[in-house]
Amino acid sequence: MKRLLLVLSVLSLSLGVDRSGYAQGTIVFNNLGPNDGKVFTLFTGQGSLLNQDLNFSLFVHRGGPSVRETVRTWLLSDGTARGINVGPGLFADPTQSVIVLTETSPGFEVVVSIGAWAGNYPTWEAASSAGIEWGESTWFRMVAGTLEAPPASLVGMPDFPVGIPEPRILSLAMVGMALFVVGRMRGGSKART
């Protein structure tokens, strides 16, 4: 019995079972691949390639597109996003680090998306709810790499715009109500004369 356990232990070590059982998938944060999407700005209503540093977040979607986890955030306010724009429409992690994804095995598909925003907001959610310039890619699938061989880029990332969102319904309602009141006040004074 002891010999059998010894043989199985040696065999599992030689096949790498113990090493790969705890391996984590990896990705890198850039869109420098030949078929990766680009980031466009829509500040003026016309699309042009991104040409400035912005805040970015990398999201991993587990259990469907609507369930997401923020894996890493790069902020202008703390300097981690300084130099993130590396060319027209292109971005790359300034530290060029490999991002380890917990609960993702190497070689398996992972669903990710990218959020980008301007301003001094600590999260993509805070910026998007404030109504400033923001954008988010649609989610896309890519294959996780290993520490020894991470993917070269965010393979499969679609183009996405960073722009000003539609006005909030509440804001429109308030403006409409104010115009209505002003109109009634003007209309009422004309009727009396």
| pLDDT tens profile 116-160 | 998 899 999 999 898 888 889 999 999 999 988 999 899 889 998
Contacts of 157 (CB under 8 A, 6+ apart): 31, 36, 37, 114, 137, 140, 142
Backbone angles phi and psi of 70, in degrees to 5: -80, 115
Q: Is residue 14 part of a domain?
A: no
Q: Measured between alpha carbons, how far is 141 from 77 in angstroms, rounded to an integer? A: 30
Residue type, 101: L
Residue 13 within a domain: no
Give pLDDT, residue 69. Answer: 93
Tell me, yes or no, whether 156 lies in a domain. Answer: yes
- 66 assigned to some structural domain: yes
What are the residue ranges in the chain where pLDDT is below 70? 1-23, 42-47, 65, 164-176, 187-193
In a domain, 193, yes or no: no
Whole domain around residue 57: which residue ranges? 23-184
Q: What's residue 42's pLDDT?
A: 65
- Give the pLDDT of residue 15: 43
| Model pTM score | 0.70
Residue 6 is assigned to a structural domain of this protein: no
